[in-house]
A and B are shown apart, each in its own frame.
Chain A
Amino acid sequence: MIRVIRRYDFSAAHVLARPDWSPERNRNVYGKCANPAGHGHNYRIEIAIEGELDPKTGRMLPEGQLDEAVRRRVLRELDGRFLNRDVPAFAATVPTAENIARHIWDTVAPDVSPARLVGVRLIETRNNSVEYAGDEELA
């Protein structure tokens, strides 16, 4: 079994707060992350795919396919943005690391054929990271 893992970096700002909750409740649940002014992270994404190697090329995916998909569909959407305000996916969904990882999964999954996506790891800080391996119940 062969798994290829690619890493990408982006920076973004976010606020952890639900618009339908009171400021007090958001502060209670999300702590200082609920500051409406926002704060930012240098995020790292690790994309893991599994599949067969093309016997001719020795590669799991054609050169550049994954990079192109991630740059065009993920980095362009998220890098340098205020996620809550600038990214439609987070207009009504709190951009927690969990939700960002799931969003990246949903965005990239259709573009890795004939390989399959097996993991998205989103590293938010040195101490916090989230791994998402797909979940039909949640998706």
Chain B
Amino acid sequence: MGATVNDPPGGPLADHQPRGPLADHQPGGPIPERERGGVRVGALGPPDGTSLPGLSLPGRVREAGPTDAVDGAQPRAVVSPSSTTETAEVLRAAYEGGLRTVVRGGGSKLGLGNPPAGVDLVLSTERLGRVLEHAAGDLVVRVEAGVRLADLQAALAPAGQLLGLDPPEAGATVGGVVAANASGPRRLRYGTVRDLLIGITVVLADGTVAHSGGKVVKNVAGYDLGKLFAGSLGTLGVIVEAIFRLHPAPAATAVATAEVAAPGQAGSAVRALLASALVPSAIELDWPGPDGPGTLTVLFEGIGPGVDAQAANTARLLADAGTPGARVLHDGEPGQGGEAGLGGGADRGGEATRAAAALGALPWEAGQLGVKVATGPSGLPGALATVWEVAAAHGLAARATAHAGTGVLRAGLDGGDATTLAAFVNGARERLAPAQAGLVVAEAPLEVKQGVDAWGPVGDALPLMRKVKERFDPSGLLSPGRFVGGI
């Protein structure tokens, strides 16, 4: 029967007791198993497509289908609030109903992290799609979480500005990029979410709306909750608005690119680049496999004479560091490169812009195992060699790309069954641990994830992270189990 979530008193939800946010909380204790608190999850299903307990938002709720599953966990309903107020209403209702909620933006990072312990509700940010304020003179933009990053870049472009985030995932939303701490090649120049996010509005599990930071770049009033939420993968609250500092879009692009024969050679080249006074936007490595060479690409963005001189200097510097034969790519006629880089427009640029647009692609296909190893620049050659060795030992092919200037390696593994792939993760993690290089599973088939911890060890701060989680989401309803240490 279609018992809905709006059952009147005496109905299926009558015995539910709403709990206060901090009630029954035992500081330092384990994150409680989700207490159903008398809520019958069955009361939700099948949903009638229009309602949630205590919530009346016509047209915002629909029944979940198989494509709404999060790493194998099937939600019952998808709700898409269209404002901060509606998001707060939804979360309050979910909180009172004890519904486990996973936030979804573009869906491009739903495979990140461990499979959730369970999902009742997917909260989609698809209706939170407005660019609220672009203060061009202040180089600041305020946006709703559901705005797609590509759309935001397109909105900023006429003012000659950009948000310095260029993650590879197509369709990623601003909220998702923040929640997943997604980054791309230009992190060398602009940093990551933590460096660009200056204000945030979040809704906690119990519906409380809170802000931190603001519209000014320089601001030390109060705790920086933006940093806490960046990379928290929907486990602390729902990001509804974000304020970013912006950068002027570069007018010209130039690229120097060279073949490298071995990880150690690439390492020497990168070390020389970083020790020089050159200011590249990105230093990227692409290595299809251990049997062939890799490609090192150095990207410069700025003004014409500046980037051309830097690219030419790069070729000389690479030759001195043992990597001769670098090609320097320009965009040709002035003005052609004006649309370079972040957010598209690649087809309008020249050779350098096209090369820049190709940077940062993920070295795996959907459904393959993808891992990320963050080492810092000096540890990168060793980490790459380790990944290859362990992959070979398990009969796997490994394609790698790296943000070599910051020391972030990504590898896609292909060719084995789930057991083999899980063995690779655990084996590589063990081999990388002495170098303090953590390995994170960025994407994997569910069967692989069931055999590994996506995050690996996080050290002695885990108990503190659990305490943070317990304070923000004491009932453990938000993205349960997806984050580090089972948070």
A and B are partners in one complex rather than unrelated chains: no
